[in-house]
Amino acid sequence: MNDHEILSRLIDQAAGRVPADLLITNCRLADVFGQTLFDGPLALGGGLILGWGEGYEAAETFDARGGIVLPGLIDGHVHIESSALTPPRFARAVLPFGTTTVVADPHEIANVLGLAGIEYMLASTRNLPLNVHIMLPSCVPATSFEEAGAELGAADLAGLAGREGVLGLGEVMNFPGVVDRDEGVLDKLLLARSRGLVMDGHSPGLAGRRLSAYAAAGILTDHECGDPEAALGRLARGQYVLLREGSSSHDLIKLLPAVTPANLRRCLFCTDDREPADILAHGHINHSLRLAVRAGLDPLAAVTMATLNAAECYGLKGRGALAPGYAADLVIVGDLKDFQARHVFSQGREVAREGRLTVEIKDLPPVGVLNTVRLAPLSQADLALPLKSGRVLAIGVRPGSLLTDRLELTVDRDPAGCFDPRLNPGLNKLAVIERRRASGRLGLGVLSGYGLSNGALATTVAHDAHHLIVAGDNDEDMLAAIRQVAGQGGGFAVVRAGKVLAGLALPVAGLMADREAREVADDMERLLRAAHVDLGLPQTIHPLMTLSFLSLTVIPELKLTCGGLFDSAAFKPVSLQW
């Protein structure tokens, strides 16, 4: 049919002149515009919502068994790579929980592979029953002080700006670059403004006139609010606030007091980084709904945040509501308390039932995104950390947070004048090693509060440049963990006394496994068990996520790169010795 015939058929079906494709009966419908529930049935046709109420006929009927029909849930900001799953595998994991749309920023793989990484994400998200909208990574590298696998300027992004599947400019993490008018950052903002692209934000700790300057540049969102006051400051400046509930950052409950009936429509949910074990055990955006309602938020207000607000924030026309002409992306739940997804529809077709997929989602071979771990020859001597004195700056881990502290410590040295964690209870050695060009660049630092003993933990998931990062209390095990991770093409490894206790291979860019979520979750569970039980990390510390973020220079306060220590608050490299 041509466009005229398609539109004519849609109008006839909505008017009831010809049968709908599908009629969902025995249901109630969530009206996110009016904040009410009303009775069905709900008529669907051509992948769209036609209307509701008695009198519709349809080629097929679907008994919802008294369920409540919600618009498909939307994740306002996610890094698919952080699930350790390729996009098709990620879709298989989240669709059964009612998430039908995600706004994805592929800056993890872009920092490893540049444009080739973005091309892979665009290709592998095309034609999925999960709607994936790609944000062009704005910070590759995250800052000018990092050495990523690529460097993407405005000219590089311009060629992708009009591509199908591209929605906007990804989180602008270099907020000092915005406020201080860095030329390269401004070029990217001007590109986005000229193309009418939504611009995502990331500005932890920013306030006052500097926050106003950041918002004035056209940056629309922020998912890095540390407290309700920070959220209210952004809402007052016209930004949207994303309440994040990920695997390492649990911000939803602490930010919920900032959500009021007056500002509700500027608030939405996101996961940012969520591991497969958490998805499989607790859900995805439906988990955010559950938490918010249990904390006292009105259920329909929560549903609106998870659907219409996200759609309007990102300009996703025809999504986020049960309205005529809107996409028939739906989730049927039993109640507005637990939000367990009974049935999930994408474009009018059932794609999941009672937690299981009902459609086949094909994989895309990971061509061009393998073999990304290339290390220069490395010996145990390279991991030695000589000190002129015992006074060092150490990275202080905060349990349950991505933020770290800048600690001034005095440590004991071995006879050779080197830092030895085993002489300093409570401290670990941290190393970040460049892993794309085999340059041999290596940064060393001191870590406090991680709690690792008698071993080492290494990974190539090290935000945002994603070099190889390793923490340990002895150089032998650190070197063994490095070699294990490199040998498996990336991923994680836990080593004790030279023995690999647990590992997870992530050969796709050193970030993702082309395996099912359950398999990846089981391997991660073994890693966590080994880290907590065999290496003694406290239960208050998430071993994998915490380690992965210790190199992210845009999260205050002290971080480590392959070039050395970086003070995020002062936004400059600093010496290990003070």
pLDDT tens-digit readout, 102-119: 999 999 999 999 999 999
Q: Please tell me the predicted confidence (pLDDT) of residue 69.
A: 98
Q: Which residues on neighbouring strands pair with residue 451, listed in sequence order?
A: none
Task: Look up residue 520 and give its amino acid.
Answer: V
Predicted pLDDT of residue 247 = 85
Please report which confidence band the pLDDT of residue 363 belongs to, taking 50, 70 and 90 as the band edges: confident
Work out the pLDDT band at 402, boundaries 50, 70, 90.
Answer: confident
412/422 Cα distance (integer angstroms): 10
Is 105 found in the same domain as 55? no
* Structural domain of 33: 1-69+322-350
pLDDT at 147: 84
- Supply the CATH number for residue 228's domain: 3.20.20.140
**Residue 28: per-residue pLDDT:** 98
Show contacts of 6-9: CB within 8 Å, 24+ apart.
6/46, 9/45, 9/46
Mean pLDDT of 264-278: 96
Q: What is the pLDDT of residue 488?
A: 96
Q: Stretch 403-420: mean pLDDT, rounded?
A: 96
In this structure, are 303 and 345 located in the same domain?
Answer: no
Mean pLDDT across the chain:
96
Whether 160 shows a pLDDT value over 90: the answer reads yes
Among 305, 321, 337, identify where a domain stops.
321
- 356 falls within a domain: no
Asked if 567 and 558 count as a contact pair (C-beta separation under 8 A), the reply is yes
The span from the first CA to the last CA of the chain, in angstroms, equals 73
Domain count, the chain: 3
Residue-wise pLDDT tens digits, 319-358: 999 999 999 999 999 999 999 999 999 999 999 999 999 9
Structure tokens at 282: 């607790």
Residue 452 and residue 398 in one domain = yes
Tokens 């509701």, located at residue: 52
Half-sphere exposure of 25 (CA within 13 A, CB side): 12
Q: Are 213 and 268 within one domain?
A: yes
Q: Of 330, 350, 370, which residue constitutes the final position of a domain?
A: 350
pLDDT-based confidence at 573, cuts 50/70/90? very high
The pLDDT of 523-552, averaged and rounded, is: 95
In the chain, what percentage of residues exceed pLDDT 70?
100
pLDDT of residue 135: 98
**Which DSSP string corresponds to 156-190?**
HHHTTTTSTTEEEEEEE--HHHHHTT-HHHHHHHH
